[in-house]
């Protein structure tokens, strides 16, 4: 059985509250879980100590037994010093899309044409 340490959403509409749970990877997001390992309240300020609460001892136990944390949970664990998260780098993500690149090329061509026309007129 593949185990995941992940978030289960609670709270009402537009007032999210998440539980950090240990669940089977095949179970639904808010479905059955094996153990509640903490909570995350994104409505609180980022510097509030109650924003993220984790049971570090149990999380370490489950990671040693093969549970895989999701990326968001791994961020919390890295901040708490429980696990290490490698920084990711995707330089392609920052590049503009195909259409934006085409528009930029057209604009550059128009500027080059205008500069060439101005140079011809000056001669």
d(CA 41, CA 50) in angstroms, rounded, equals: 8
SS3 23: strand
Q: What is the mean pLDDT of residues 19-29?
A: 93
Architecture of domain 3-80: 2-Layer Sandwich (3.30)
Confidence of residue 95 (pLDDT cuts 50, 70, 90): confident
CB 5 within 8 A of CB 59: yes
The residue ranges of every structural domain in the chain are 3-80, 91-122
d(CA 40, CA 17) in angstroms, rounded, equals: 6
| Percent of all residues in the chain with a pLDDT value above 90, rounded to a whole number | 71
Q: What is the pLDDT of residue 16?
A: 95
Q: Which residues of 58-70 are buried (b: 16+ CB within 10 A; e: fewer)?
A: ebeebbeeebebe
Burial class for 21, CB neighbours closer than 10 Å (0-12, 13-18, 19+): buried
DSSP 85: -
Each residue's pLDDT tens digit, 66-90: 999 999 999 999 988 888 888 888 8
């Amino acid at each position: 059985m593949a185990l995941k340490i992940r978030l289960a959403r609670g709270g009402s509409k537009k007032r999210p509250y998440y539980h950090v749970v240990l669940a089977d990877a095949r179970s639904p997001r808010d479905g059955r879980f094996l153990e509640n390992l903490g909570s995350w309240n994104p409505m609180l300020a980022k510097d509030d100590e109650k924003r993220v609460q984790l049971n570090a001892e149990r999380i370490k136990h489950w990671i040693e037994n093969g549970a895989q944390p999701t990326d968001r949970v791994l961020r919390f664990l890295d901040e708490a010093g429980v696990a290490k998260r490698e920084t990711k780098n995707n330089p392609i993500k920052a590049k503009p899309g195909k259409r934006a690149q085409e528009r930029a090329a057209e604009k550059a061509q128009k500027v080059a044409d205008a500069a060439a026309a101005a140079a011809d007129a000056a001669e």
